[in-house]
Amino acid sequence: MRNKNHRGPDLQVETELLSRGFKYITGIDEVGRGALAGPVVAAAVVIPENNMLPVYDEIRDSKEMNAVERETAFEVIIKWAVDIGVGIVSPQIIDEINILGATRRAMRQAISNLSLEPDYLLIDGWPLPRSPISQQGVIKGDKRCFSIACASIIAKVVRDRIMIDFDKIFPHYGFAVHKGYGTKKHLQCLNQNGPIEIHRFSFAPVRDLARLI
């Protein structure tokens, strides 16, 4: 049972939607929007209709959790959720259509990769343009809505695993540590080794270095 002193995401919005007759309520979030390398990843998590009290009180915005906590929560969510979809958009597509377009594409992919048809979307931030599905954008949704927080954890764990795999292929960039974000270490590696194919060449630090090559 949820601790009454818990200040993390709750099911208030989801419970209200269920009371209005919506059945497949789906939280959606993305990870990797601000990184300099790697894909942007989105996840869609459909919550159970008749099991509204999650087992773990520790579920919260993935940015507030460490790697072990996220991995543990990931396994809980996989078992608890009715359905999960993931969308992955490559750095090349990000460069082609810009990060906003790529983020929306990843979210749409996540929705289309669900095995069922959701009837209401709760999206972190702003709603998707021209969506045929009823939806609501929730500012800071990963901190407020349990379903969106679950989606943020799924997306974060999936993306982190991708970047750890990239680290094995490109061992001189430290992707397993910084996951492609613009840390001091990453920028040092970029300056020493130059950008590679998984970097986002439309992002300023990478673009500026590419011009010097």
* Contact by Cβ (8 Å): 183, 56: no
State the amino acid at position 87 in one-letter form.
G
Question: What pLDDT was estimated at residue 5?
Answer: 52
Mean pLDDT, residues 12-29 taken together: 95
* Contact by Cβ (8 Å): 170, 47: no
Mean pLDDT, residues 28-57 taken together: 87
Q: Where are the domains of the chain?
A: 12-170
Check: pTM over 0.75? Answer yes or no.
Answer: yes
Q: What angle do CA 31, 86, 57 make, to 5 degrees?
A: 65
Tens digits of per-residue pLDDT, 133-187?
A: 999 999 999 999 999 999 999 999 999 999 999 999 999 999 999 999 999 999 9
* Contact by Cβ (8 Å): 149, 60: yes
Quick one: tokens of 7? 């200040």
Other Cβ atoms within 10 Å of 119 Cβ, number: 15
Mean pLDDT, residues 115-134 taken together: 96
Give 171's DSSP letter. T
Indicate if the pLDDT at residue 51 is higher than 70.
Answer: no
Question: What pLDDT was estimated at residue 59?
Answer: 86
Q: What class has domain 12-170?
A: alpha beta
Q: C-alpha distances in angstroms, 186 versus 39, 113, 173, 193?
A: 16, 32, 6, 10
Q: Is 26 helix (H, G, I), strand (E, B) or coil?
A: strand
Other Cβ atoms within 10 Å of 126 Cβ, number: 12
Q: Which helix (H) or strand (E) holds 92?
A: helix 91-97
Q: Which of 49-63, 97-111, 126-140 shows the lowest per-residue confidence on average (mean pLDDT)?
A: 49-63
